[in-house]
Amino acid sequence: MNTIHSDHNVLQYDESLKTVILTRKIFVTGDQYRDPLLKGLQLMEDNNSCKFISDIHDLGVISQDDQDWFVKNWITLATKSGLKYFAVVHPAKMIGQISVRKMESNAGEFPFQYLQFHDIDEAKTWISSI
> What is the per-residue pLDDT across 2-40, written as a single tens digit (0 to 9) for each?
788 888 899 999 999 999 999 998 888 999 999 999 999
Q: Residue ranges per domain, the chain?
A: 2-128
pLDDT grade for 70, boundaries at 50, 70 and 90: very high
pLDDT at 45 over 80: yes
Give the pTM.
Answer: 0.93
At residue 64, φ and ψ (nearest 5 deg) are -60, -40
**Which residues, 6 or more positions from 41, have their beta carbon under 8 angstroms from its beta carbon?**
20, 52, 77, 78, 81, 83
CB 28 within 8 A of CB 56: no
> What is the per-residue pLDDT across 95-125, written as a single tens digit (0 to 9) for each?
888 888 888 888 888 999 999 999 999 999 9
Average pLDDT over residues 72-80: 97
pLDDT grade for 1, boundaries at 50, 70 and 90: low
CB 116 within 8 A of CB 90: yes
DSSP 3-state of 102: helix
Q: What is the bridge-based pairing of β-strands 9-14 and 2-5?
A: antiparallel
pLDDT at 51 over 80: yes
pLDDT at residue 110 in the model = 93
Q: Which CATH architecture has domain 2-128?
A: 2-Layer Sandwich (3.30)
pLDDT at 68 over 70: yes
